[in-house]
Chain A
Amino acid sequence: MALLFRFLQAFALLLLASAVVAEHTSNWAVLVSTSRFWFNYRHLANVLSLYRTVKRLGIPDSQIILMLPDDMACNPRNAFPGTVYSNADRAVDLYGDNIEVDYRGYEVTVENFIRLLTDRLDEDVPRSKRLGSDAGSNVLVYMTGHGGDQFLKFQDAEEIGAWDLADAFGQMWEKKRYHELLFMIDTCQANTMYTHFYSPNIVATGSSEIDQSSYSHHADNDVGVAVIDRWTYYVLEFLETQVTSVTSKLNLGDLFDSYDESKIHSQPGVRWDLFPGGEQEGRLRTVVDFFGNVQNVEVENANATEPGSLKEDLAEIARLVEKWQNRDEEYSAMLADSATNVTEDLHSSSLHLKLKSTVGPTKMAEDSSWGKRLVGISVVGACTAIWVAGSFLGRSSV
């Protein structure tokens, strides 16, 4: 059996080598914890551990969207203020000194999450809060919290349904906002969350089947609560011990094979059918395709002379610079000649930075407020009229 598997793997590798794999050009990660309050410490620790891992593998902060609904490090019940640990040995402080939380506290809502995925955000929303992925981006979406059959609770107040999530991914695919997407979820009945997905190029994995709970791994007696969930713990164990650098060749198949139900205490699930080529093809994607940042740096050869090379370009740019300098001189000479006719917009070589129009106070109210009032008055009037007419008619009939 093992031999057969080896053979299959070798065969698959051969396939990989022969086929040209469509490359992705950037990596994005969306890491979401959805629960508040101190006793949900482990959910934040899950997300922060994963945050640390993707950062270690090279995804820059600008390409990680971190959503934390609570601040465990500054919770008054935290015996180790300013820190978050995901292990009772407290070896690694996940909070560290360089952490960029993009959505925090009550900003973590279903609406904001869907807006983030579909990029239906106000123009004023800064880039750090946007998912700027494109058709060449591999996106990792990790969610954790309390969930149930086809929903995941956000902040004790609302929930996201599997349908909404599927539609959000559907819209992302429509607008070419990902190349391939890895969806991971650690919650009770997690596998129900990806049942409704319909857009292609998604690999989804969850921690537990329907009607199964997802358990925490262990508690830290000094912190006083459980510090990490089981499934996340073992995923992280794989990532931390096996995927040691961006150059790691381990693939998703290895990651999913490392699931051990006797350790996780629930049945993790994987969904391959949306991926072109199904499981066979999907297993070959390397782990760092999603958790790392793959960059194909192009070193420029200073001595090459083919068209478009550095040297050629430099010569051309130098000529351009010279030309503009000449033009600048002509322009200033012309200015000196005819100082009266300055209004004509001639091109100076200085940078055309847009003059910012002065921002003054503006009225924020909707323009149709009078219309609304009119509607209100007429509704009230109509109701009164009906009431008067009704009572009048009623008296006459009795």
Chain B
Amino acid sequence: MTTKTGDQESPQASSSQGDQLSVKRAPPPETPAALQTRFRVIAAFWAVIIFLGFPIWWKTTSIYRASLPIEEMVDWADGKACRPVFPLDIHLATPSMQSFEAQHLLRTTQHTLDDLNEFAAHHLRLKLTNGTTTAVHNGEDNLEYPAKETADTALTVRLLPQDGLASPWSELHAAATQLDIFYPPSQVPVPSSSNSPLSTFIAAELQQLYGEEKATIAHILSGNTAGLDSTSPQLAEDIDRRLRRSMKYAETYHLSFSLFTPGSEPSSWDIEAAVKEYVSPLLQALSPISNFTVDTQVQLYANFAPTAPKPEYDESEAAWTLKKEGLSAFVNAAEWPLNPSIGNGPTINFILYVPDPSQSPLIVKENRASSWIVPQWGGVFLLNPPLSNTGEQSAPSNPSHLSLDSLGPAFMTFSHQLLTLLGTPSTPASLPLRLQTSIRIRAASLLLSASSTMGSLARLTKSLPSIPIPATVATSVSTTLSHLSASCVHLREGRFGAALASARVAETEAERSFFEKSMVGQVYFPDEHKVAVYLPLLGPIGVPLVVGLLKELKRIAARRKANGAAS
């Protein structure tokens, strides 16, 4: 099109140039039609660039960033969105008291408790109950069915009168969430008194029972060692140590039981029976907190690392001993096939080591212990089975098969180590209560960790403007936030099982949103790289276009001026 008009113009131009050569060296005026054509051409090119080229460029080079509720996420991370509280329901069963007496006792005890409590987020709520036996199983049922409308019962306190007592005493049921308190009938508070030795005693007992839990939760919520003023330094250190050695939370843990021996025997063990007998009940009880898978292996001819300290024979103990400081090198990490790559949960290793007959029995030098915990990794148990002499001349040998009975102590120890590694608190001395406590502790720490992940993601979004944020991240974030608030509400209403379940979902979703794998698209381009990419591409096209546009604008402006001058 343009070339055609150009061809038509050129003869005219050259002829007129010849005529006016002497007068003026300027070209002849263009015909209006030619001007219009050129205007159209330039406009068409620019229209294509503006309405097609520019949007395509914009669309293809822009990074998709789903909008995230940044404010809300930061609020969660700063702890503004939710203040976790832990109201524990404690049922008071008073089978042999008048109801008004019981009411009064409840009031005074509650009053004393509130006075004693200095950590407002964790408080005990007393309630009267009539049932004496039904409540006993309540605690563990809550463990199994976390989603319940009513608040969980943390503990049932049964008050039993006993004649011939000078002062009340208590007994904690080790297998149930029940505390029996025996009191002399004379100590039942009379309605006129505002305080009584019995209510003081109950309050002190409860306070002591939940002391460690309270300190732990305070520690987690404040995020440092200085949790509560009243916490003894000893307890604070214990809590700190426990939190340090316990495994990072995971949805699924792989338990790996391994039998290592330097010789050829024992080559088999009753592992299935042992796991079923000793580990399964514990895993069942821990099922609200995490999922578990179990793997086992037998490794023969497993040697120590060449650099590891060798066991030494101790005459006085009549045993081979390992020094405590050498224990960290006991596991031959380079050669023993541990840490199998299964799934994506962490592995907790339990190693049963049967020493060579020539080095049996093997114990730890300092305290004759036969087991130890490697923080955040697993546990080791040294099993010294009775040696058998097959013949007169031959050296004693290990049994070729380890029976269920001989595995008993080892697997009990492993269960204990598992509890320790999962961060179960050491008091009170009742496993159901400790498991309940660990549900609350896990709920608190998951709530915090998911919240802080939200904060990290929010900060990341702001600080890296070139990182893409796919829609799935936005979905995960909203799921996380809704589960976080659900968890917070559950906590406030005392449904800890449900709170943990929500917090678990929140944690999983938060991790998923942060570790979304398409969020790596950002690769930094320095500005000079951009120039280097765009200049060769756009230079040759851009220059004629821009120059053409400028010329056209100049012409239009000149004509306007001319028109203005003429009129």
Contacts and interface: CB of A to CB of B under 8 A. Distances in A.
Interface of A: 23, 25-26, 55-56, 58-62, 98, 110-111, 114-115, 118-123, 126-128, 130, 132, 134, 136, 161, 163-164, 167, 170-171, 174-176, 245-247, 293-303, 306-310, 312-321, 323-324, 347, 349-354, 390, 394, 397-398
A352 B284 contact: yes
A314 B293 contact: no
Contacts of A126: 341
B283 interface: yes
B412 A123 contact: no
Given A119-B515, A313-B416, A321-B278, A298 B463 contact: no
Given A307-B426, A307-B427, A297 B523 contact: no
Given A347-B284, A398-B4, A301 B517 contact: no
A296 B375 contact: yes
A135 to B, nearest CB: 8
Contacts of B327: 297, 299
A128 B338 CA distance: 11
A134 B248 contact: yes
B366 A315 contact: no
Nearest to B339: A62
Contacts of A128: 339, 341
Nearest to A298: B373
A315 B275 CA distance: 17
Given A60-B339, A297-B372, A301-B369, A394 B1 contact: yes
Interface in B98-141: none
A351 B280 contact: yes
A324 B280 contact: yes
Interface stretch (B67-75, B192-200, B213-221, B453-461): B453-461
A120 B339 contact: no
Contacts of A298: 245, 372-373, 375
Interface stretch (B157-165, B329-337, B438-446): B329-337
28 contacts: A25-B244, A58-B333, A60-B339, A111-B520, A132-B346, A136-B244, A161-B524, A171-B464, A174-B459, A175-B456, A175-B514, A296-B245, A296-B328, A297-B324, A300-B372, A300-B373, A302-B369, A308-B420, A313-B420, A316-B174, A316-B431, A317-B282, A324-B284, A349-B276, A350-B280, A351-B275, A353-B293, A397-B1
Nearest to B413: A310
A309 B426 CA distance: 8
Interface size classification for chain B: 35 or more
B523 A351 contact: no
Interface string B500-544: 000000000000001111111011101000000000000000000
Given A127-B341, A316-B430, A317-B416, A164 B519 contact: no
B285 interface: yes
A4 to B, nearest CB: 35
B285 A320 contact: yes
Contacts of A98: 334-335
Contacts of B338: 60, 62
Contact of A163 (B293, B456, B524): B524
A115 B517 contact: yes
A247 B275 CA distance: 37
B324 to A, nearest CB: 6
B415 interface: yes
Given A300-B371, A351-B283, A353-B294, 6 more contacts: A60-B338, A62-B339, A300-B372, A308-B420, A313-B420, A390-B44
B425 interface: yes
B519 A349 contact: no
B429 interface: yes
B415 A317 contact: yes
Given A299-B324, A353-B293, A312 B429 contact: yes
Nearest to A60: B333
B456 A174 contact: yes
B370 interface: yes
A324 B281 contact: yes
A306 B419 CA distance: 16
Nearest to B373: A298
Contacts of B375: 25, 295-298
Given A115-B520, A297-B374, A299-B366, A314 B416 contact: yes
B333 A317 contact: no
Could you say which of A55, A247, A296, A299 has the most chain B C-beta atoms within 10 Å of its C-beta? A299
Contact of A127 (B294, B339, B460): B339
Contacts of B335: 98
A210 B283 CA distance: 58
Contact of A299 (B279, B369, B429): B369
Contacts of B4: 398
A27 B337 CA distance: 19
B201 interface: no
A163 B524 CA distance: 6
B369 A323 contact: no
B175 interface: yes
B314 interface: no
A317 B412 CA distance: 7
Nearest to A119: B515
Given A295-B374, A310-B371, A161 B517 contact: no
Contacts of A316: 174, 429-431
A126 B324 CA distance: 34
Contacts of B452: 176
Contact of A314 (B279, B328, B413): B413
A255 to B, nearest CB: 21
A174 to B, nearest CB: 4
A61 B331 CA distance: 12
A309 B371 CA distance: 12
Contacts of A351: 275-276, 279-280, 283-284, 294
B244 A23 contact: yes
Contacts of A120: 515-520
Contacts of A246: 328-329
Contacts of A307: 426-429
B291 interface: yes
B368 A302 contact: yes
7 interchain residue pairs of minimum CB distance:
A308-B426, A60-B333, A163-B524, A324-B281, A126-B341, A62-B339, A313-B416
A302 B363 CA distance: 12
Interface in B403-451: 412-413, 415-416, 419-420, 425-431
